[in-house]
Chains A and B, each alone.
Chain A
Amino acid sequence: MTSFDPASPGQDVGRAARVRAMLLVAAMAVAVGASLMIEDRYENYLARLTLINIIVVYALNILIGYAGQAFVAGAAIFAVGAYGSAIGVMHFGVPFAIAWPLGALLAGIVGIVSALPALRLAGSYLAMVSIAFNVVAEQVLILGGDITGGPVGLPAVPPVAFGAFTLGDSGTLALIAACAVLTIYCTASLRDSQWGRAAIALRESELAAKSLGIDTVWLKMAIFFVTSLMMGLAGGLYAHSTNYISPDIGGILASFVLVLMLVLGGIGTLWGPLLGACVLTILPQLLSSFQKYHLLVLGIVLLIAVTQMPKGLAQPQDLLNRRRRRSNAGPAGGTQSASAVPDLLVLARPAADAGLTLSARNIGKRFGGVVALSHAAVDVRPGMIRGMIGPNGSGKSTLVNVLTGFYSPDEGTVTLGGRDIHRLSTSAIAQKGIVRTFQTPRLFSDLTVAENLSAGQFHHRPGNLLSALLGTPGNTGVNRQAAAESLALACALGLGGLLDQRAGDLSQGNQRQLEIARALAAHPAILILDEPAAGLSHEESMNLCTLLENLRAQGLGILLIEHHMDVVMRVCDRITVLNRGSVLAEGTPQEIRANAAVQEAYLGKPAGAPATAAAGEA
């Protein structure tokens, strides 16, 4: 395996993890120490409340802020943890040390169940479902009769106790503080891991994530489970420290306040939840004389916050990320010609998948009354470049969507090495080695160039979720490997000097380069490029040609959809021409250029000339 000097990024990677670990220990010591020193009962209570809110809001930040899942029912999950733990101890006599994690586990399971709609719905529908879920959950608590204590709730929840040893106020606060510090640590560690990047990728462009082989279903379930677990743990702590829980802790208003904390603090940032939870827990307590106007003011504040944000809530500002920009990010970049492309490309491909032909036959696809494809066919072999051209509306994009599983064909088959793949999901097809880029780059705008490339590697280099949360050396190792490959790919596509740049800030040309590099990061056997040369200068498109020829020489199969005929005619071995949903012609570049029917399809016929018959079908 070609090794690239990981010294530069590697050191960075290891260092960040070590710093975090040191800060964790220090913060724990401070938190526990400070907790034991607080004597005033009211201050202790306020601190407990704030720290518990911190835990919940950090969990919501991962779910809504990082992963972009519009789930606004956090309080309901929190309440499941609270009631679960309390009922475990009070009704079933289970000790706290077991009831607490079990309550959290129950919250995790409920979280997964409530996540099921998220698998098929996005954005606003999911948010509405979560509102409905929250209202149902609150009703369940109210109607729970003897078990949940009904509308009154459960008074006299036993305090935190380990065996015979009961934690007093200070001890409980110390436990809660330690959990809060750990939560912040886990969030920071997650952000700097493959799982964290995959989560953000999910938010930025679920479509692109799937096309890189990321199993978004599994990813969503995992994120919902972990964050629900965290909220459930916080709930248990709340129950046994406040000693009284009632259904309104899981109500829609409580959820709304939690989301407000997240939004005001700064959604998707590392320190936002801390800020928001502190301000919105402490301030209302201090202004308790205005209790009557409390919610009204909160509502107005939220309204102002949401309507004044320039791009809605979709643009988190990750201050930590920007500060990480360094000057020693590798050899000078810019859009230079492609240097030797690393031969990491086909290495991870299992032998069984290598060398397989992607083939589509007799594809038919209709949208309502419009026939998009009819008897369309195309094939790509590793080690060859197939061009696909055709006038606007000829069905090229539709065919690519069929090949990659975004659409199901009405007729016809798509096979890889003879095996039928058209029923597979997009991410499964990408995992089999068929990776595509998009006409308009769908980059993970808020991630850096390096992070985009690492996210592209997720399906074959995910690392362990638990290690990612705990920031273990194993996680650092995975990060190091990913960074090394990212560096190599970036250099190969002329982006070496831009590794720490936010992808959304790149120039158009560089964005297209990144789109290709990221696709390569997913270790394709067959690469489908959708108009990669659009908007490029002549020199840049010739560089692209060199890159594609390099890739072909390494055994990659490429399907190139392009309008830039200079590029197409130069690099393609064979070309398929589509027109009005069917194959108009197929052959070598020379044959296609000379084909009168092709000329006519593009340019139309000169006035007075009769129509030329179609020159053969594939």
Chain B
Amino acid sequence: MAQADSLVLDVSGLCAGYERTQVLHDIRLTVGAGELVAVVGANGAGKTTLLRTISGLISPMAGEIRHRGERIDRLPAPQVAHLGILHVPENRRVFPDQTTEDNLLLGAYMRMSSRERPAIRREMEEFFERFPNLGERRKSLAGVLSGGEQQMLAIARALIGKPKLLMLDEPSVGLAPAVTEQVFETLVEERRKGMTILLVEQLAYQALSIADRGYVLNQGTIVMEGEGKTLIAQAGIQRAYLGTQPDDIV
């Protein structure tokens, strides 16, 4: 049982949305150190809103977000990033007008001091060895990379920032199954090395099968939670995604 102060992420009573629309209602979730937590749900469930609120791009309407006991819900986005909470957003969002290499370099923006520079250079080389197709394209503008390559670049960009919490928003969107496999394998690998990960996904089965714990988000509220493997077996998930059977309707 993780102590409240050591929780990497502790969200309670979170209500958030845009302008006049409230998307998230009273969200409660936690992420402990070294865990891979999945948040799954159909479209419109509020998954992206959740991550953007944690990252500081959206001000919550109510509730608290804590990182190791300290409140972070009122901090501006750059400061949340400086705390080590890094976000790989939906649609990757690499900088298309800069090279693959420069995109990766910007991931280390916060670590840039003359001491760290050689270490960063080394880590960049390691990434290019680990993902050789990115290595081949290191001088290309990131805008011409394929979807899968952009996804890998976005993840590498986050990893080089040495995050305390790595958050990913639907990394599988728009990717072929084989590439999605590769992405998930990378996440499993990082988890094995001790990374704390919050994975938001629409592909419930895949995400939950690599997760320690999971939450199911539906229409802005958490409707199910539990251990990853347990959740998969529960029929509620199918209902949440594909609707009730005609005879199920009350």
Contact = CB atoms under 8 A, between A and B. Distances in A.
Contacts of B201: 604
Interface of A: 368-370, 391-393, 504, 508, 531, 534-535, 563-570, 580, 593, 598-599, 602-607, 611
Interface string B138-153: 0000011111000000
B205 A566 contact: no
B131 interface: no
B238 A603 contact: yes
A411 to B, nearest CB: 19
B206 A602 contact: no
Contact of A563 (B44, B173, B244): B44
B243 A602 contact: no
A6 B114 CA distance: 78
B244 A604 contact: no
A508 B21 contact: yes
B186 to A, nearest CB: 16
Interface in B197-250: 201-207, 209-210, 219, 232, 237-238, 241-246, 249
Given A370-B147, A392-B202, A508-B21, A603 B44 contact: no
Given A369-B145, A603-B204, A604-B207, A392 B43 contact: yes
Contact of B203 (A504, A531, A565, A603): A603
B95 to A, nearest CB: 14
B232 A606 contact: yes
B42 A604 contact: no
Contacts of A392: 43, 170, 173, 202
B249 A606 contact: no
A391 B241 CA distance: 10
Given A369-B143, A508-B21, A566-B244, A580 B174 contact: yes
Given A392-B170, A392-B173, A603 B147 contact: no
Nearest to B242: A565
Given A369-B146, A566-B243, A566-B249, A508 B20 contact: yes
28 contacts: A368-B143, A369-B144, A369-B145, A369-B147, A391-B173, A391-B203, A392-B43, A393-B170, A393-B173, A508-B20, A535-B21, A535-B44, A565-B241, A565-B244, A566-B244, A569-B243, A570-B246, A593-B245, A598-B242, A599-B238, A602-B42, A602-B242, A604-B201, A604-B203, A604-B206, A604-B207, A605-B205, A606-B232
Given A370-B174, A391-B202, A603 B244 contact: no
Interface residues of B, number: 37
A606 B209 contact: yes
Given A368-B144, A611-B177, 11 more contacts: A369-B144, A391-B173, A392-B173, A508-B20, A534-B44, A563-B44, A570-B246, A599-B238, A603-B203, A603-B204, A605-B205
A213 B83 CA distance: 51
Closest 8 A/B residue pairs (Cβ): A565-B243, A604-B203, A604-B206, A607-B209, A393-B173, A604-B205, A393-B174, A563-B43
Nearest to B173: A393
B242 A599 contact: yes
Nearest to B207: A604
B52 to A, nearest CB: 15
Contacts of B238: 599, 603
Contacts of B245: 593
Nearest to A538: B250
A504 B21 CA distance: 11
B243 to A, nearest CB: 2
B243 A603 contact: no
B20 A605 contact: no
B185 to A, nearest CB: 12
Interface of B: 20-21, 42-44, 96, 143-147, 170, 172-174, 176-177, 201-207, 209-210, 219, 232, 237-238, 241-246, 249
B147 A569 contact: no
Nearest to B244: A566
Contacts of B249: 566, 570
A569 B245 CA distance: 8
Nearest to A563: B43
Contacts of B21: 508, 535
A580 B209 contact: no
A603 B20 contact: no
A543 B113 CA distance: 61
A482 B177 CA distance: 53
Contacts of A504: 20
Nearest to B249: A566
B44 A602 contact: no
A598 B219 CA distance: 22
Contact of A602 (B173, B177, B202): B202
A390 B232 CA distance: 21
Contacts of B144: 368-369
Nearest to A601: B203
A581 to B, nearest CB: 8
B241 A603 contact: yes
A564 B44 CA distance: 9
A314 to B, nearest CB: 13
A604 to B, nearest CB: 3
Nearest to B232: A606
Contacts of A570: 246, 249
A599 B204 CA distance: 11
A534 B21 CA distance: 12
Nearest to A604: B203
A368 B177 CA distance: 22
A227 B193 CA distance: 69
Most chain B CB neighbours (cut-off 10 Å) among A392, A563, A593, A611:
A392
A602 B41 CA distance: 10
A605 B146 CA distance: 24
Contacts of A508: 20-21
Given A370-B147, A563-B42, A580-B176, A606 B242 contact: no
Contacts of A603: 203-205, 237-238, 241
A105 to B, nearest CB: 44
A570 B249 CA distance: 10
B234 to A, nearest CB: 12
Nearest to A567: B243
A535 B21 CA distance: 10
A598 B242 CA distance: 10
Nearest to B42: A563
Residue from B176, B205, B206, B244 with most neighbouring chain A CB atoms (10 Å): B205
Given A369-B145, A531-B44, A565-B242, A606 B205 contact: yes
A580 B202 CA distance: 14
Contacts of B173: 391-393
Contacts of A563: 42-44
Nearest to A369: B144
A112 B237 CA distance: 59
